[in-house]
Structures are given as structure tokens and as C-alpha cells.
Structure 1
Amino acid sequence: MKRLVNLTPSRPLKALLGLAPFALVLLLYVIASDARLEANPSDKLLPSFSQMGDAMHRLAFEPSKRTGEYLFWQDTASSLQRLGLGVGIAAIMGFIIGLLTGALPTLNAPFAPLLTVISLVPPMALLPILFIVFGLGELSKVALIIFGVAPFIARDIQRCTQEIPKEQLIKAQTLGASTWHILVRVLIPQLLPRLINAIRLSLGAGWLFLIAAEGIASTDGLGYRIFLVRRYLSMDVILPYVAWITLLAFTVDWLLANTSRLLFRWHHAGGNS
């Protein structure tokens, strides 16, 4: 008798099983929405798909009467720009700090404890400080993402640097490699795919900080729109925006994963994600 732990679904069955939960959720939503709207046609908690489609059509394909912009696409562009800038700067800072503190004991001793303490500070607690120091403009929003993401990336790269076999460093030094050569020729090539993985893992937090900052002080953005329409209980806008954010996050993660597989085949050949 085959045990359940040894049963592996075929590729088509695996795809079908993966889609089944989403189909079930949609079915349950349709049933619940129809029931609520039948009892109360003006109910706003569970709008129908047609109501959500009408709301998104107005935001995406009809210019705003106040600004003339297509709000949905403007919100998307603004949020992606902030997220990309914040995560990009955080990745560069985190990579450099993690590399140096992981590879150089003289830097690890004084700065590793400080990095640990900084990574434990809740970034959201610093949001009022960032608004006071940098104002309510773009800089404070990007700074929140940087402060929230950079310490995580730095600690991850630091750990990965220290996990590289010492034998490689010894062999490089035996061949006459300097500290600079070891960093550039030995460590960095092995850490770049791990940097992409660290970015993927930190994107969820990056989206969280972005939405929070936009919800508090902004004039556009996906988070701003969600917080703006919540006072009117506009679930026909909130739910599609949440779904769109989820799709964007999935797409960015998919692009990073495939970029890593394309550029660093040797890293993924051993079964690394």
C-alpha cells in the first residue's frame, strides 16, 4: 500500500490542485456576495464582480475630473517607483554592509552587534521621526523602505558570507590574492544570487512599509487610494487594489527568480531556490 508521503502528483494534476483553492475562494465569494446583495442591494461589504469592474473602469480608463490623470495607472506607477527606489538602495547598502562585516573580522567585531540592534527596531515606530526629519514628501517614504529592508538584507548577506568555505579564501591567498581580489573575485560572484534571494524575501516587508507610508502621507499611490476610499466603505475599489498589489508582488518575485536562474545557472544547478 502506498503511503501518502510517497504520492507525487503529475504535472497536470499538480497545476489543477494549485488552482483549486483559488477557484474555491472565488466561488465562495460569489455565493456570499450574491446572498448579501439579494438581501440588501446597497450592501457595500461584498460587491459583485460587475460592481468592481465598473469601479476599476472609472479609475483605469476615465481621466480624473480634477487632475486629468488616469488614477489607477498613476497610483501604480508612483508605488512601483517608490518601491523600486527604496528596495534598490536598500539592496546596495545591505550588500555592501553585509559583505564587509561578514568578510572582515575587524569590521565584524564593532558593527555586527550594531547591525543586529538596528534590525530589531520596528521601522513603523520610526515613521513619525522620518516625517519630521525628511518631511512628508517622497524622501520619507523611500527612507522607511530603506530602513526596513536594508538591515535584513545586510544580516542575510553577512551570514551567507560567513558560510562560504574558508578553504576557498585560503586557496585564493595561497595564489597571492589580496583582500580586494578575494572580495571581488571570490565572494561577490557567490553572493550575488543570494542577494537576489534576499531581495525576494524582503519584498513583502517592502510592500508593507510602502502601503503604510502612502496611507499616512501621500497624494497618490496604491496605498493612498486604499486609505482614501475606505472612509466611503468602497470595497469595490479596495478589493481590486489589494488583488492588483498581490499580482504585482507575485510578478516582481517571478521576475527576480527567473533573472537569478538566467544569470546564475551554476547556483541553481545544486537545487537552490
Structure 2
Amino acid sequence: MKRLINLKPARPARVALALLPFLVIAFVYMSASSARLAENPNDRLLPSPAKMTDTITGLATEANVRTGSIPLWADTKASLRRLAIGVGISAFAALIFGLFSGGLPLFRAPFSPLITVVSLIPPLAILPILFIVFGTGELSKVVLIVIGITPFLIRDLTGEALRLPEEQRIKAQTLGANSWQVLLRVLLPQLTPRLLSATRLALGSAWLFLIAAEAIAAQDGLGYRIFLVRRYLSMDVILPYVAWITLLAFIIDQALVWISRLAFPWYHVDEDKS
């Protein structure tokens, strides 16, 4: 008798099981939407799929009279630019700090407690401070993302470096490697794929900080558009924008997976076995 814990679905079943929750959510939404629209055709809380399709098509094809730009693509470009700059700076800083903190005890001793304390500060709590110090332009939004996810990435990479077998460093030094060579040839190659994995986990928080900053002070961006139309209860705009943000996040996540598997196939050996 096979135990439940040992049962693994075949690929077709795995695909079907993955789609099942989404189909259930779609069915529940369409049922609730139909019921509300039957009672009130002007209901704005649960718009029909056709209404959302028409609205998002207009936002994706028709230029704004005031700005001359197409809202969906202008908002997407603005948000992705801020996200890319913020996450890029965070990843680079985390790799440098994580490498030195994980490899040099004299570096880790003063900076590790500081990073731990900074990581406990709620980034959204200091958002007003960032607006005061850096203004309401692009810089404050990028800084919020950097402050929000960099400490997490640093702590993750430092922990990964400390978990690596000590024998690797001892053997490298036995073969004549100095401190820089140990950092660059032993630690760095093993921390880089971990950085991609940690960045994937941090992307959700990065999107959260971006949307929050755009909602408070911005003239474009996906978060700006959502909070702009909320006062009109325009769920036919909000829901497609949320779905679009989710799709963008999924594409970025899968792109990082693809890069990691292509550049560091050895890092995913255990995953491929499962």
C-alpha cells in the first residue's frame, strides 16, 4: 500500500492540479459577478469579464488626451524602471556585503548587528522620512525598495556563506590561496546563484514598496493608476491592473529561474531530482 506522502502526480496530472485553483477562483468570481449584475446592472464592485476586457483594451490602445501616452504601457514602463533600478542596486550591494560579511569575521563583527537592526525597521514606516529627505521624485521610490529588500538579501547571503563547508576554505588556503582568492574563487561562485534565488523571494516585497510609494506620490506607474481610480470604484481598471502586475511578477520570477538554471545548472541538481 502506497503512502500518501510518497505519491507524486505525473506531468499531465500536475498541470491539471496547478490549473484547478485558478479555474475555481474564476468560476466563483463569474458566479458572484453574474448574481450582482442581475440585481444591479450598474454594479461596479464585481464587473463582468467583458467590461474589464473593454476597459483594459482602451487603456492599452488609446492615448491619454492630456499626456499623449498610452496609459497601460506608460505606467508599466515607469514601474518596471523603478523596480529594476531598486532591485539591481539592492542585489549588487547585497552581494558585496554578503560576500565580505560571510567571508571575513572582522567585517561581520561590526556590520552584522547593524544589518540585523536595519532589517527590522518597517520600510513603509520611514516612507514619509524618505519623501522629506529625497523629495517625491524617482529617488525616494528607488531608495524605499533598496532599504526594504537589501538587508534581507544581505542576511540571506551571509547565512549561505556561513553554511558552506569550512573544508572548502581550508583546502583553498592549503593550496596557497590568499583571502581575496578565497572570497572570489570559493565564496563568490556559490553565493551568486543564491543571490538569484533570494532576489526571487524579495521581489514580492519590492513590488509592495513600489506600489505603496507610487500610490502616495507619483504621476505615473501601476500603483499610481490603481489608487487614482479607487475613488471612483473603478474595479474594471483595478482588477486588470492587479492581474497585470501579477503577470509581470511571474514573468520576472521565471526569467530569474531561467537565468539561474542556465548559468548555474549544478545549483538545481537537487530540485531536478524531486
Q: Secondary structure at the match of 1:170?
A: helix
1:183, 1:7 → 2: CA distance?
42
Q: Does 1:168 align with 2:141?
A: no
* Match status 1:224 vs 2:224: yes
Provide the identity percentage.
Answer: 60
For residue 205 of structure 2, what is the amino acid of its counterpart?
A: A
Q: Does 1:178 align with 2:174?
A: no
Instruction: Compute the RMSD of aligned alpha carbons.
Output: 1.1
**Is residue 59 from structure 1 mapped to residue 45 from structure 2 by the alignment?**
no
Match of 2:135 in 1: 135
Output the CA distance in 2 between the equivalents of 1:270 and 1:21.
27
Alpha-carbon displacement from aligned partner over 1:207-261 (angstroms, at most 9, x marks no partner): 0000000000000000000000000000000000000111111110011011101
**How many residue pairs are counted as aligned between the two chains?**
273
| Aligned equivalents of 2:132, 2:37: Cα separation in 1 | 45
Cα deviations across residues 82-113 of structure 1 (Å, max 9, x unaligned)?
Answer: 00100000001111111111111111111111
Other structure's SS at 1:121 match: coil
SS of the residue 2:242 aligns to: helix
Equivalence for 1:119: 119
Shift of 1:3: 3.1
Q: Deviations over 1:105-164 (max 9, x none)?
A: 111111111110011011001100100000000000000000001000000011011111
Structure 1 residues 28-43: aligned runs within 5 Å:
28-43=28-43
- Runs of 4 or more, structure 1, over 4 Å off, are none
**CA–CA distance in structure 2, aligned partners of residues 220 and 145 of structure 1:** 17
Tell me how far apart the structure 2 counterparts of residues 133 and 260 of structure 1 sit (CA, whole Å): 37
Deviation at 1:269, TM superposition (A): 1.8
Q: Displacement of 1:270 after TM fit?
A: 3.3
The residue number in structure 2 matching 1:69 is 69
Output the amino acid matched with 1:33.
S
- The corresponding residue for 1:200 is 200
Structure 2: state its 5+ residue gaps. none
Opposite residue 179 of structure 2, the aligned amino acid is: T
Instruction: Identify the residue that residue 88 of structure 1 maps to in structure 2.
Output: 88
CA–CA distance in 1 between the matches of 2:37 and 2:167?
Answer: 68
Give the Cα separation in 2 of the matches to 1:225 and 1:168: 51
Report deviation, 1:190.
Answer: 0.8
Deviation at 1:4, TM superposition (A): 2.6
2:82 aligned partner, one-letter code: R
TM-superposed CA distance for 1:7, in Å, is 2.5
In the alignment, the residues of structure 1 paired with residue 221 and residue 7 of structure 2 have an alpha-carbon distance, to the nearest angstrom, of: 46
TM-score by length of 1: 0.98
Unaligned runs of 5+ in 1: none
Q: Using the alignment, how far apart are the partners of 1:256 and 1:186 within structure 2?
A: 23
* Alpha-carbon distance, 1:33 to partner: 0.5
For 2:29 and 2:232, locate their aligned partners in 1 and report how far apart those are by CA, in whole Å.
Answer: 21
- Aligned residue number for residue 157 of structure 2: 157
Separation (CA, whole Å) in 2 of partners of 1:7 and 1:108: 44
Query: Secondary structure of 1:43's match?
Result: coil
- The CA deviation string for residues 22-67 of structure 1, in whole angstroms up to 9 with x for no partner, is 0111111111111101100110000001110111111110111111
Matching residue of 1:187: 187
Q: CA-to-partner distance for each residue in 1:58-79, whole Å, 9 max, x for gaps?
A: 1110111111100000001110
Instruction: Using structure 2 for the length normalisation, give the TM-score.
Output: 0.97
Mean CA deviation greater in 232-241 or 13-22:
13-22
What CA distance in whole angstroms lies between the structure 1 residues aligned with 2:155 and 2:3?
Answer: 41
Letter in 2 for 1:210: L
Report which stretch shifted further, 212-221 or 6-15.
6-15
Separation (CA, whole Å) in 2 of partners of 1:35 and 1:118: 49
